[in-house]
Structure 1
Amino acid sequence: MLSLLSRHRPFAVIIALALLVRAAVVLGYPPARLYWGDSFSYLDIALDLRPEPTLRPVGYPLFLRALAPLHSVAAVAVVQHLIGVATGVLVYAVARRRSAPAWAANAATLPGLFGEGFLRLEHAILADTLFVFLIVAALAVVLWRTDLGHRAALAAGVLLAYATLVRTIGVLLIGVVIVVLTVALLLRRRGLRPLLTFAAAATLPLACYAAWYGTHHGRFAVSGADGVMLWARTMTFADCAKIRPPADLAALCPNGTVTDAASEYVWHPESAVNLLPGGAFANNDRARGFALRAIAAQPLDYLWHVAKDTSIAFRWTPEPHPDRTTPAFGFAHGRWDLPGVPLVERLRRDYAPDIGAMRSVSPYADLLIAYQYAAHLRGPVLLAVLVAGALRPRRTLLPWAAAMTLLVGPVAVLDFDHRYVLPAIPVACLAAALAAVRRPTQLAFTEMSGFIASRKPSQDVARLKAVKGA
């Protein structure tokens, strides 16, 4: 252990500081941040495991169920802080394993280990921290060796399947990995067995969950909200004179209600989908049908609005989107009371007695309030990281494509949210670190996304020596 620390001394200091700032969060904002709606739905499902009909699959409630013996949401927050640190360790380990310079590997961990957004989400009863860890862990498994074996493909598939059951946007990443693997295997003229192993491992758990969902809600699906979300995305540009929907979908046309962000149409009581009999989520299939017709009829309008909203991530000063949200700098003084409803009392009795109002505690909160302004990753810096990761696509294709999917995917299927940007950051930083590796150009082609080599590692070493001696 001492030898390991001595070889990675700067990173050991980074980890120590990351643990220290997380200790300040735990002490400065006890017990944990609980959001009405999301947090309490997750805790409720954790006590009575079942497929929730609309927005929240069972992945994060399973995690909460595993931590139920702790009987403390403060303890859940501590575990999530440790998971956040573990995510940084994985980014560093993969970067060094793939021969990134020490400075680049260390720098790649800083936004995830010290960003105020990550600290706040780790301290909240929300699914994001677990989702980020699972994504980074899956990519780490794929990138760890140049030769992707069946065990690694199996593990990566299972991790991404679980990530999708934590946040359904993970299904896009499964598609990205399948595409990159297919390209790499075809270029290397290798068999497709690793690809088939990954595809089976990633899809079978989702199929099982969809079947379970179907026994409760009558349809084979992972979520009952995808159509409503995509419909809301189209409300920023839909023109029914161009779409010409059939009669059964015409009621979903814009009805004059205007909101300041696409996602607000899901919740606005006067939006077209909420005026349908049964409400929004009872009409999920109809909403999806309308949305697909709108995108097909107005593809350029759709792409323009996706690009425009994605660009919010690259602004120097975080912009509220929608206006009612707090995009960054969320550490503040105060007390955040919970509603006095029976569900809160039930969860306090059956899950954790410390469920209660989060409050700020000085001097730790004072330090964090000042700290957050320096710790925020500014938009132009994120853009520079993404550009750096794209400079050497043969080495960085997989993590860079995953980062772009995590950044653009939520906007494409619903809307921009600063919270949804965070999962893209550690992956984008990993891609940038891998792009910093200096290798002879003759070997660059063998590094297609850092995996699926056609030779043994020892043969690559021999070839490297031959290139250097030439």
Structure 2
Amino acid sequence: MSRSAATGVDGDPSRRALPARVRALIGRHPAFSVIIAIAVLVRLAAMLAYRPAVFFNDSFDYLHAALDPYPHPLRPSGYSFLLLALEPLHSFAVVAAVQHLMGLATGVMIYALLRRRFGLPGWGAALAAAPVLLDAYQIQLEHLVLSDAPFIFWVTAAVTLLLWNERPGPKAAAGVGLLVAAAWLTRSVGLPVLLGICVFMVLRRVGWRTIAVTLAACALPVVAYMGWYSQVHGKFAMTESNGVFLFARAYKFADCRKIPDLTVDEQQLCVLPDNKLPNSQDGIWDRRSPLKRVVDMRFGPRQNEIAGGFSRKAIVAQPGDYATVVAGDFFRAFRWEREVFPDLKTYRLYEFEESAQPLPTWSMDADSTAADVADEYERGSAQPRVVEPFGHLVRVYQDHVYLRGTMVGVLLLVGLAGMAPLWRRFGGAAFLPWTLATGLLLAPAATAEFDYRYVLPAVPLASLAAGMAFAGPLGAASSRRRARREAAAGVDAGAREDTPERPAVASSS
């Protein structure tokens, strides 16, 4: 027999073995295989329907900082670095594809961690990964030219790496630090993630060397970025916007009649309660905002300092009003229905629409508009378009398949219930994803305002915590069933060995 006949037409046995390996992998993970196959198909449909990608208001700032790199004063430029790395391909479709792969990888990490580390049965781990893999708003977020999908990926990767072994070694600790740094440089809320991870490591007594390695690995890229920011803007910081965003929070409740010791500059921000605009974000973006009275560039150092000082004094003087506003936005995340908030225009940016909106023409600098920046990145027309019938299929999917806010609350409650019996150990390993999920929901409510896209980064962590709550009983039950199968297989094998072989029956042919 020739070699090609023995190994296949192309003479490569690995090619014949590949389908068998895939079938074996599917056989070991049937429930997860079905879920991730659906997740891939829906993401492919989104890419076919909404070309080349979907844009958000913030997209053009990220693109502007990617085409001519500089540290943006409003938000960290980590996402711009990702766009810069992909820029030679000149394709928003590639950007969307990378972010969809990040979404799929996030689901895989949840499944793998719950199966390998915590012994959850396959169907249970697949169920925990389903919210990230199948939620239509998660898929739409991945299709936006926006920082949230990479942020979710970096944070989930850091948690997965930290929990993969009982006690992480130096390499794992360094990896965790670098992943947290990537998250922090992508969104400012990465700082609370670092604090949460450090608290967890202290409670788990991983050792000061491991904690030091994590902090050092995180600090190196962050400090380098802050040094770059200092060279450009003259201040050792990551942004010049924390005070302005805090003003959005204070604008909702601040009453200058109750706030003592306001400076003359801070008094510029006073507005009578009856004359306030309806939403917190109006305190930043609306042309009637009192911030317009501060003579400085938007998000400039003087504006940021005055807004921050006013906001902190308002919070100290009106702690009850501040707590009420924060609680209202925090619990808004758990409502069953998705109401139009904060306004219809913003709400629609998170929907797969029937028609694509034209690229905006507001100025990015003296020489270019937002549309110019997008076209320059694409090296051609970046105007979004909707292709049917794929668009209709995706819109129908989004109408019916999404994680309601109440379900997010249930995930957190299940995780909390699983932690309760382990209160002497601070809830065990689930303490990390549960506190990070809760913190990621609370941070925007405490420092800016509720937004639907701020809910989604908490979902994979809440799913992990809920899966860990069932890991003990379900994992034990799965182990018992596996032991019984192995025992039965051993008995059958022993019986076959004890049975004498029968003589072969001669063939009539």
TM-score normalised by L of structure 1: 0.88
8 Å CA contact 1:57–1:166 kept in 2: the answer is yes
Report the counterpart of residue 360 of structure 2 in structure 1. 339
Are 1:390 and 2:410 an aligned pair?
no
Three-state SS of the structure 2 residue aligned to 1:438 is helix
* 1:384-406 CA distance string (max 9 Å, x none): 11100111222310000010111
Residue segments in structure 2 that go unaligned for 5+ positions in a row? 1-20, 363-367, 420-426, 477-509
- Share of identical aligned residues, percent? 39
Range moving further from structure 2, 415-424 or 275-284: 275-284
Report the counterpart of residue 452 of structure 2 in structure 1. 418
Q: What is the rounded CA distance, in whole Å, between the counterparts of 1:195 and 1:381 in structure 2?
A: 34
Report the counterpart of residue 226 of structure 1 in structure 2. 242
- 1:303, distance to aligned residue in structure 2 (A): 1.5
The 1:347/1:280 distance shift into structure 2, 3 A limit, reads closer
Equivalent in 264, 271, 281 of residue 282 of structure 2:
264
Report the counterpart of residue 18 of structure 1 in structure 2. 39
- 1:378, distance to aligned residue in structure 2 (A): 1.1
Q: Which amino acid aligns with 1:277?
A: V
Report the counterpart of residue 81 of structure 1 in structure 2. 100
- 1:230, distance to aligned residue in structure 2 (A): 0.6
- 1:27, distance to aligned residue in structure 2 (A): 0.9
Report the counterpart of residue 133 of structure 1 in structure 2. 153
- 1:291, distance to aligned residue in structure 2 (A): 1.4
Q: Which amino acid aligns with 2:41?
A: L
8 Å CA contact 1:319–1:327 kept in 2: the answer is no
8 Å CA contact 2:52–2:382 kept in 1: the answer is yes
The 1:85/1:191 distance shift into structure 2, 3 A limit, reads closer
Q: Which amino acid aligns with 1:51?
A: P
Residue segments in structure 1 that go unaligned for 5+ positions in a row? 444-470
The 1:102/1:328 distance shift into structure 2, 3 A limit, reads farther
Q: Which amino acid aligns with 1:94?
A: L
- 1:56, distance to aligned residue in structure 2 (A): 2.4
The total of aligned residue pairs comes to: 435
Are 1:44 and 2:64 an aligned pair?
yes
Equivalent in 328, 337, 344 of residue 317 of structure 1:
337
Report the counterpart of residue 356 of structure 1 in structure 2. 382
Cα RMSD of the aligned pairs, angstroms, is 2.0
Q: Which amino acid aligns with 2:271?
A: P
Are 1:251 and 2:268 an aligned pair?
yes
- 1:208, distance to aligned residue in structure 2 (A): 1.7
Q: What is the rounded CA distance, in whole Å, between the counterparts of 1:398 and 1:254 in structure 2?
A: 41
8 Å CA contact 2:31–2:123 kept in 1: the answer is no
Q: Which has the larger radius of gyration?
A: 2
Q: Which amino acid aligns with 2:296?
A: G
Equivalent in 171, 182, 206 of residue 162 of structure 1:
182
Report the counterpart of residue 90 of structure 2 in structure 1. 71
Equivalent in 395, 406, 412 of residue 440 of structure 2:
406
- 1:295, distance to aligned residue in structure 2 (A): 1.5
8 Å CA contact 2:360–2:371 kept in 1: the answer is no
Are 1:437 and 2:471 an aligned pair?
yes
* 1:134-176 CA distance string (max 9 Å, x none): 0100101111000121211111111111111111111111111
Q: What is the rounded CA distance, in whole Å, between the counterparts of 1:149 and 1:264 in structure 2?
A: 47
Q: What is the rounded CA distance, in whole Å, between the counterparts of 2:67 and 2:298 in structure 1?
A: 27
8 Å CA contact 1:329–1:373 kept in 2: the answer is no
Report the counterpart of residue 372 of structure 1 in structure 2. 398
Three-state SS of the structure 1 residue aligned to 2:310 is helix
8 Å CA contact 1:32–1:123 kept in 2: the answer is yes
- 1:240, distance to aligned residue in structure 2 (A): 2.2
Range moving further from structure 2, 351-360 or 152-161: 351-360
The 1:368/1:348 distance shift into structure 2, 3 A limit, reads closer
8 Å CA contact 1:60–1:166 kept in 2: the answer is yes
Three-state SS of the structure 2 residue aligned to 1:307 is helix
- 1:242, distance to aligned residue in structure 2 (A): 2.6
Q: What is the rounded CA distance, in whole Å, between the counterparts of 1:76 and 1:355 in structure 2?
A: 16
Q: What is the rounded CA distance, in whole Å, between the counterparts of 2:360 and 2:256 in structure 1?
A: 41
- 1:113, distance to aligned residue in structure 2 (A): 1.0
Q: What is the rounded CA distance, in whole Å, between the counterparts of 2:311 and 2:133 in structure 1?
A: 38
Q: What is the rounded CA distance, in whole Å, between the counterparts of 2:121 and 2:316 in structure 1?
A: 46
- 1:420, distance to aligned residue in structure 2 (A): 0.8
Are 1:303 and 2:323 an aligned pair?
yes
* 1:324-349 CA distance string (max 9 Å, x none): 32168712211321135734565456
Q: What is the rounded CA distance, in whole Å, between the counterparts of 1:245 and 1:403 in structure 2?
A: 37
Q: Which amino acid aligns with 1:365?
A: G
* 1:301-321 CA distance string (max 9 Å, x none): 212111111111111111222
Are 1:215 and 2:231 an aligned pair?
yes
Range moving further from structure 2, 321-330 or 256-265: 321-330
8 Å CA contact 2:354–2:391 kept in 1: the answer is yes
The 1:361/1:350 distance shift into structure 2, 3 A limit, reads closer
Q: What is the rounded CA distance, in whole Å, between the counterparts of 1:280 and 1:52 in structure 2?
A: 12
Equivalent in 44, 49, 54 of residue 33 of structure 1:
54
Q: Which amino acid aligns with 1:413?
A: T
Report the counterpart of residue 95 of structure 1 in structure 2. 114
Q: What is the rounded CA distance, in whole Å, between the counterparts of 2:318 and 2:201 in structure 1?
A: 32
* 1:72-97 CA distance string (max 9 Å, x none): 11121112111111111111111112
Q: What is the rounded CA distance, in whole Å, between the counterparts of 1:206 and 1:253 in structure 2?
A: 36
* 1:32-85 CA distance string (max 9 Å, x none): 1123x42122112111111012x2211111101111121111121112111111
Three-state SS of the structure 1 residue aligned to 2:471 is coil
Q: Which amino acid aligns with 2:379?
A: P
Range moving further from structure 2, 335-344 or 241-250: 335-344
